[in-house]
Structure 1
Amino acid sequence: MTTFIQLHLLTAYPAANLNRDDTGAPKTVVLGGATRLRISSQSLKRAWRTSELFEQALAGHIGIRTGRIAREAAQILVDSGIDAKKAVEYVKNIANCFGKVKEDKKPKDELTNAETEQLVHISPAEFEAVKALARRLAEEKRPAIEEEAELLRHDRMAVDIAMFG
């Protein structure tokens, strides 16, 4: 049987611009009948995740949050001489593997429809696999097939994603 220790800590923060809601007002909570400033765990996690110490300690294992992973692949295809519209079609299966693909009727640029609608969390290994597949597609001048795209998602996630979600 595994033993778990759960810690509940109260930490004092200076009354600075800690964390604000969508209207710009500081987040508050009532504790013991008194209104107090509140800082969300999401805000703390972001501060830890973006700290210099965290980046130094876990260099090479920190994930990327992006909606443009397939766009990067499409750009590799375009750089190798493939037409932008064809490049977007070639990477559709890659984009589908990571999320719902944008389908703008009037895209901002030629590669917009190679992006996903939501941000996705990608480990460095997954990002390298996408770039390697894009280079192979550029050489062979063909679209990615579903089976290839499914291999891009790895069980090994980036450390920051594993720690903070």
Structure 2
Amino acid sequence: MTNNLYLDIHVIQTVPSSNINRDDTGAPKTALYGGVTRARVSSQSWKRAVRQSFKDDTVTVGFRTKAAAQLLKQALQKLTPELNDDDAWKQVNAVFKLASVKLDKDEETSALLLVSPGQIDQLAQYVTDNADEELDKKAIKAVLKGNQSIDLALFGRMVADNPELNVDAAAQVAHAISTHEVVPEFDYFTALDDLQPEDSTGAAMLGTLEFNSATLYRYANVNINELIANLGETAAIDGIREFVKAFVLSMPTGKQNTFANKTLPNYVMVTLRPDTPVNLVSGFEDPVASKTGYVKQSVQQLVTAYQAALSFVEQPILNVDLGADESQVATPADSLTGLLEQLVAKLTEVVKDEDGND
């Protein structure tokens, strides 16, 4: 297989009045780019939205938790119902000691640990099968590096206690930024007491809430070969389909009940590249300026940036888009399902061709 094979995902999406990702003061996050203030949504926020979307579509995901030891204890006692708590905890502590992951007095890890259900189940099976023998450190490490859920394989894992358990992320997600300058706005709100006496006046509560509206450029990429190394070919291709779908359709839920701001993308472009991933945010370094809306001009500036990038990189293996009035640089898809089908077909073809034995 070639050393380089990457998938770029580009999304233009307009969002109305909202506050989907807040800073420590409660204000929408921002970034300074191209000399002006942009709306910003952090990559961490959108990756969590993707993981939640996986769950909604019944895609198996991992547990990002400090309670991994408790999960293992439960799995052990499910396999061996007669195992009492004390003996179960002894086995759990032996596993985590060999894995060089420290547990505190409450049997929790010092930091959040991302583990897949398959890893927990296989650890429990390994311990149960070897209950009368000495556990093997290498075997435990192998379990904690294998059986990866899609989110673990995509977003990776950092284990401060034992870097040998780290998993390199196969995907990168950029901070979404607005294609144009934004000006913060403030909602002044009040609330009345339903049982307030008629001779009383005034609000029971008042406050302000900062918000903005923006047309966002969103970008993510996937190192296809890295994902295949993490999951295997078939699971990797299936995982890419699920990731593209989840990334396109998901949205962080900050203040969702207040603003009901869930929109769908206006434009999507996916590009399969044989050389390097390309973030096209440079197309918006000169902010979009318009009095008739930002979407159409944002799509045009994205297309222009794509065309300019072709002077520096190889021709892509595949470029498909969705939502353009008239596609200028890509094979148009008539639906998200159609886009995903084209992507999966080409990925399957490329992987098989490069294997040379399928």
Query: Which TM-score tier does this pair reach, normalised by the shorter chain?
Result: 0.5 to 0.7
TM-score, L = length of structure 2: 0.35
Deviations 1:42-93 (Å, cap 9, x if unpaired)? 2122112212xx336563x422222222223334459524353x43332213
Whether the aligned pair in 2 keeps the contact of 1:18 and 1:39 (CA below 8 Å) is yes
**1:102 to 2:93 alignment:** no
Which residue number corresponds to residue 69 of structure 2? 70
**1:127 to 2:129 alignment:** no
State the one-letter code of the partner of 2:148.
Answer: M
Deviation at 1:98, TM superposition (A): 5.5
Deviation at 1:40, TM superposition (A): 1.1
For residues 14 and 98 of structure 2, the distance between their equivalents in structure 1, rounded to whole angstroms, comes to 43
Deviations 1:93-152 (Å, cap 9, x if unpaired)? 322455632233xxxxxxx22x32222222232121123245447xx4x69624353343
Which structure shows the higher strand fraction? 2
- Structure 1 regions of 5+ residues with no counterpart? 105-111
Compute the RMSD of aligned alpha carbons. 3.3
Whether the aligned pair in 1 keeps the contact of 2:19 and 2:27 (CA below 8 Å) is no
State the one-letter code of the partner of 1:123.
Answer: S
**1:157 to 2:148 alignment:** yes
Structure label with greater radius of gyration: 2
Cα 1:67–1:80, aligned 2, differ >3 Å: closer, same or farther? farther
Which residue number corresponds to residue 337 of structure 2? none
Aligned length: 150
TM-score, L = length of structure 1: 0.67
Which residue number corresponds to residue 111 of structure 2? 118
**1:91 to 2:92 alignment:** yes
Residue identity over aligned pairs, in percent, reads 30
Which residue number corresponds to residue 55 of structure 1? 55
State the one-letter code of the partner of 1:25.
Answer: A
Bigger RCO of structures 1 and 2 (CA < 8 A, at least 6 apart): 2
Cα 1:135–1:159, aligned 2, differ >3 Å: closer, same or farther? same
Q: Alignment partner of 1:26: what SS?
A: coil
- Structure 2 regions of 5+ residues with no counterpart? 157-358
Deviation at 1:33, TM superposition (A): 3.7
For residues 31 and 83 of structure 1, the distance between their equivalents in structure 2, rounded to whole angstroms, comes to 55
Deviations 1:7-34 (Å, cap 9, x if unpaired)? 6655432231221122322211234443
